Amino acid sequence: MTSYDIVIVGGGPAGLAAAVAAKKAGTDSILIIERDKELGGILNQCIHNGFGLHTFKEELTGPEYAYRFIQQVYDLGIEYKLDTMVMDIAEDKTVTAMNRTDGMFQIKAGAVILAMGCRERPRGALNIPGYRPAGIYSAGTAQRLVNMEGYMPGREVVILGSGDIGLIMARRMTFEGAIVKVVAELMPFSGGLKRNIVQCLDDYGIPLKLSHTVVDIEGKERVSAVTIAEVGPDMKPIPGTEERYTCDTPATHCCSPQD
Amino acid sequence: METYRPLFVLKWKGDESVLYDVIIIGAGVTGSAVARELSRYKLNVCVLEKEEDVCCGTSKANSAIVHAGFDAAEGSLMARFNVRGNEMMGDLAKDLDIPFKRNGAMVVCIHESEKDGLKDLYNRGIANGVKELKILNREECLEIEPNLSDKVVAALYAPTSGIICPFMLNIAMAENANVNGVEFFFNTKVEKLTPDTCKKCGQPIWKIRTNNGEYKTRYVINAAGVYADYFHNMVSEKKIHITPRRGDYCLLDKTVGNHVSHTIFPQPTKLGKGVLVSPTIHGNLIVGPTAVDIENKEGNNTTAAGIADLIAKAGDHVRNLPIRQVITSFAGLRAHEDHHEFILGEVEDAPHFIDCAGIESPGLTSSPAIGEYIGQMMKEKLGAEEKEDWVGTRKGILNPADLSIEERNELIKKNPAYGRIICRCESVTEGEIIDAIHRPLGARSLDGVKRRTRAGMGRCQAGFCSPRTMEIINRELGLPLTEITKSGGDSKLVIERTKGVEA
C-alpha cells in the first residue's frame, strides 16, 4: 500500500493552504485528493472579486485567488489526484479512494486532513412546502450552472437566504438579464457582508425582506410562483402577511458542513 | 470515451393500423404488474402513459411498505390481494433483482384502553390469512424495538411485513414486460374511449384517442390511478368516484436510518393506517403519511400544515424521533375509492373494459397479485397461449458497492465510467447512470435517473450531481442541455445560455 505522511481530502482553498503550509513546515510526503477535475474547489465558481484582501492585500476573483495557492502547490511539487473520490477513511487512517484510471485504491496516511468544504442544505431540509417542480436550486448549484456551465436556470428569480452567496447570485443573475424579484431572509438580519448588501442588492434596487420565509412554491413542471410571508419571533409565518411573486427560479441557500 | 449503443430503441408512437389485444392505461405499479403478467402470453399488448416515464403518480410517492395484510377488512379484495402480493414479493424481488427486506411491522398501542383494538386487528389478520402474527407485551416490544415510546403498552407484531423500493418494483416489472414484447408509449395521454365492433370478428373493440395518435384494442385495462374514475365513468353508467387523498411524508437522513428497525404504525383509523415511522430499504428513515382529501388530481404539493401535523403525530409512538434530520419532504396521492375497496374486473355495462381502480394502500403490495389475477383473466378471455421464450427474470443496474475491491477494479478496467462517482451522497457512479439511460425503457430525465440509480436522492438532494447528470444525459442521448428536464414536459432545468457564450 502506498503511504503518505499527510493525505488531504479536498483541493479547495483550505486543502491547498494546508498542503502548502505542511510542505513549508518540512513534510515532504503529501497527497491532495480532489473529486473535481481541477484544483480550487468552490472558488472556481466564485467569479466575483473581493478575495485576497487580507492574505495578498489585493482584490482578486475566486479563481485568481485559488490560483495563488495552486501555483504554490505546483512550485512545491506537492502531489495531487484529480477526479478522485475518497470512499472511506478507516480508523487506522487507511484512505480508500477511486477514480477512472487507478480504479479503487488504498493509501496509508500518517495524518488525514479533512478539507471538504460544505454542502448546502436542500429545500426539503428547510421544510419549505409546495410543489417540487424544476427550477428550484440551492444558490451554489445555481452559481455553478451560471458561472461554470454557462447556462441560466431562469429569468425571474426569488432568492431565499441573504448569506453572501445568495446576495452575490442576486447580482450575478441580474447581470445576465434576469429579474430578481426579492431576497427573503428568515432571520431579522442578513448573514451577508454589508458591502454585499449594498453592492449586490441596493445598487440594483433588489428588495431585501428580513424576517420572511417561503411558505409555498407553485408550478407542476417548472416553478411559476413563490409565496413568502413574514415570520414572528418564533420563526413561524404570520398569517395574512403572504406576498406572491411569479417567478421561474427560486434559489435557497443554507450551508452545513460535510461529513 | 466509451461508446454505447442503445439496446432497445424506444418507439414514440404506436402503429394506428394495429389492433392490439390489450391496451393498458397507466404505467404505474399496477399497470406495469399487469403488463408483465400479460407478457407471458402470445398477445399484442401496449401501455399508454401520459407522463414521460413509468412510476410517475401514486406509485412513486408512498410508504414503500409491503404490508402483511392484517389491516384490510375480512373478505375484501384488499385483504386477498394484499396477502397474496406479500407472499409473492420475495420470489418476485429475486427474479427482478430488486432490494426487498422483511423487516417486520409493529402496530403500537399506547393507551391501555385501546388494547382491544389490537386484538381485533390480530383476529382480522388471522382471518385474512396473515402468518406469524403475535401480540407483544410492553417488555417484548421494547426488547425488539428499544426506541418505541415510553407509553407503549402492547403491539401487534407482523414479521412478514417488509420494505421495498417502490420505484425499482415498478421499473423492474415494466422493463421485464418490455423485454418480453410489451410496448410502452410515453407522453401519451388518453383523451377519449369509443366502443366499436371488429369488422372481421364482430367482437367489441375500443378505439382510443390520445394526444399521440389513435389506438385500437380488443380489451382496455384501466390502471390510471387517481384518474381511474375518469376513464371508468367515460364508458359506464355505473359511476365510481375516486378521491385523491394526499399524504405528506418526510424522509430523514441515513445517519438516523436505524432509529427503528421495524415499521412502526399507530393503531389504524378510518382515514388509513396512520403516520408510520420506518426504515427504508435504502437505509433512510421515512415518516408519514398524513391523510387529507383533496379535489385536484395533480395536487401533490406539500403544505406547511401537513408537515407540521406530521411532525406532531410522528413522535407519539417513537421516542426522540430525529425529525431535524429531514432531507426532503414530498406528498403522494392515494387513489381512494368511496368504498375503500379495489375494483377489479370487467365493467358490467362496458364489455372488454377492465377496471383496476381504487388501488390505494395496500396497492403497492397487492400489485403483483393484481397482475397475476388480471393476467389469468385475460388469458382465459382471449384464449391466449403462453410464450415458450418468456423470460421472467431481469438483471438490475449493477451496484458496485456490492463488489469487493478486486471485482470493482476489474469492472473499472473494463469500463472506467464505474470509477467516477457522480452522486457523492449515494456514491453513484457514471457507469450506473449510463446503464440507467440505455437499458430498456431507460431514463430520459433527472428524475428518471434518480429513481433508477438513486443519484440525487441523498442528503444534498441533487445539488452537486445535477449538472453532472445533465452532462451525461446530454452526451448519451444527444439532448441539448436546454431540453433536459427534471421530469418531462416543460420541467426544463436550464433555459438558455448566459450572455456571450457561444451556443
pLDDT tens per residue across span A79-133? 999 999 999 999 999 999 999 999 999 999 999 999 999 988 888 888 899 999 9
Among B67, B282, B317, B352, the one annotated catalytic: B67
Mutate to test the interface with B, among A45, A82, A104 (most CBs of B within 10 A): A104
Beta bridge partners of A137: A251
Cross-chain residue pair B307–A99, CB shorter than 8 Å: no
Q: Does B496 touch chain A (CB under 8 A)?
A: yes
Which residues 97-126 of B are in CB contact (within 8 Å) with A?
none
Contacts of B453 (CB under 8 A, 6+ apart): B397, B423, B426, B428, B432, B433, B436
Sheet holding A30-33, edge to edge: A79-81, A30-33, A2-9, A103-114, A94-99, A85-89
**Whether B193 contacts B234, CB under 8 Å:** yes
| Cα(B503)–Cα(B497) distance, integer angstroms | 7
Among candidates B327, B482, B497 on the partner chain, residue whose Cβ is nearest the Cβ of A122: B327
| Cα(B176)–Cα(B371) distance, integer angstroms | 13
Q: Does A79 touch chain B (CB under 8 A)?
A: no
Among candidates A138, A145, A176 on the partner chain, residue whose Cβ is nearest the Cβ of B499: A176
| Cα(B153)–Cα(B266) distance, integer angstroms | 12
Beta strands in A23-147 (DSSP E): 30-33, 49-51, 60-61, 79-81, 85-89, 94-99, 103-114, 118-120, 137-138
Find chain A residues with C-beta within 8 A of B413's C-beta: 103
Q: Does A98 touch chain B (CB under 8 A)?
A: yes
User: Smallest CA–CA separation between B245 and chain A, in Å?
Assistant: 16
What grid cell was written down for B435?
A: 446503464
User: Smallest CA–CA separation between B449 and chain A, in Å?
Assistant: 15
Q: Name the strand (E) or helix (H) holding B131.
A: none
Q: Which conformational region is residue B392 in: left (phi greater than 0), alpha (psi within -120 to 50 degrees), or beta?
A: alpha
The pLDDT score that the predictor gives to residue A258 is 57
Using alpha carbons, list the distances in angstroms from residue B13 to A38, B24, B31, B292: 44, 15, 18, 37
Q: Does A215 touch chain B (CB under 8 A)?
A: yes
Q: Does B490 touch chain A (CB under 8 A)?
A: yes
Contacts of A186 (CB under 8 A, 6+ apart): A160, A161, A211, A212, A213, A231, A235
Which residues 167-196 of A are in CB contact (within 8 Å) with B?
175-177
Q: Does A146 touch chain B (CB under 8 A)?
A: yes
Find chain B residues with C-beta within 8 A of A178's C-beta: none
User: Smallest CA–CA separation between A103 and chain B, in Å?
Assistant: 5
| Cα(A4)–Cα(B63) distance, integer angstroms | 47
The pLDDT score that the predictor gives to residue B487 is 96
| Cα(B283)–Cα(B288) distance, integer angstroms | 16
The pLDDT score that the predictor gives to residue A81 is 98
Cross-chain residue pair B304–A215, CB shorter than 8 Å: yes
Please give the backbone phi and psi of residue A97, each rounded to the nearest 5 degrees, phi first: -135, 170
Cross-chain residue pair A124–B326, CB shorter than 8 Å: yes
Cross-chain residue pair A125–B420, CB shorter than 8 Å: no
Which residues 297-356 of B are in CB contact (within 8 Å) with A?
298, 300-304, 306-307, 326-330
pLDDT tens per residue across span A211-236? 999 999 999 999 999 999 999 999 99
User: Smallest CA–CA separation between A138 and chain B, in Å?
Assistant: 7
| Cα(B491)–Cα(A221) distance, integer angstroms | 4
Q: Does B241 touch chain A (CB under 8 A)?
A: no
What grid cell was written down for A256?
A: 452545513
Cross-chain residue pair B302–A176, CB shorter than 8 Å: no
Give the position of cell 413561524.
Answer: A236
Which residues 118-137 of A are in CB contact (within 8 Å) with B?
119-120, 122-125, 127, 129-135, 137
Q: Name the stretches of chain B with pLDDT < 50.
A: 1-9
Find chain B residues with C-beta within 8 A of A253's C-beta: none
The pLDDT score that the predictor gives to residue B11 is 59
Instruction: Locate the chain B residue with the closest alpha carbon to A100.
Output: B419
Cross-chain residue pair B495–A176, CB shorter than 8 Å: no
Q: Does A24 touch chain B (CB under 8 A)?
A: no
Percent pLDDT > 70 in chain A is 97
Please give the model's pTM, rounded to 2 decimal places.
0.95
- The angle formed by the CA atoms of residues B75, B293 and A224, to the nearest 5 degrees, is 140
Contacts of B280 (CB under 8 A, 6+ apart): B64, B163, B165, B251, B257, B286
Whether the per-residue pLDDT at A250 is higher than 80: the answer is no
> How many other C-beta atoms lie within 10 A of the C-beta of residue A19?
27
Cross-chain residue pair A119–B464, CB shorter than 8 Å: yes
pLDDT tens per residue across span B225-273? 999 999 999 999 999 999 999 999 999 999 999 999 999 999 988 777 8
User: Smallest CA–CA separation between A101 and chain B, in Å?
Assistant: 7
Instruction: Locate the chain A residue with the closest alpha carbon to B305.
Output: A129
What grid cell was written down for A246?
A: 411569479
Q: Does A152 touch chain B (CB under 8 A)?
A: yes
Quick check: is B111 catalytic?
A: no
Exposure b/e, B33-48, CB count within 10 A at least 16 = b: bbbbbbbbbebbbbbb
**Whether A251 contacts A139, CB under 8 Å:** yes
| Cα(A162)–Cα(A157) distance, integer angstroms | 14
What grid cell was written down for B91?
A: 420470489
Cross-chain residue pair A130–B301, CB shorter than 8 Å: yes
Question: Exposed, middle or buried, A77 (CB in 10 Å: 0-12/13-18/19+)?
Answer: exposed
**Whether B163 contacts B279, CB under 8 Å:** yes
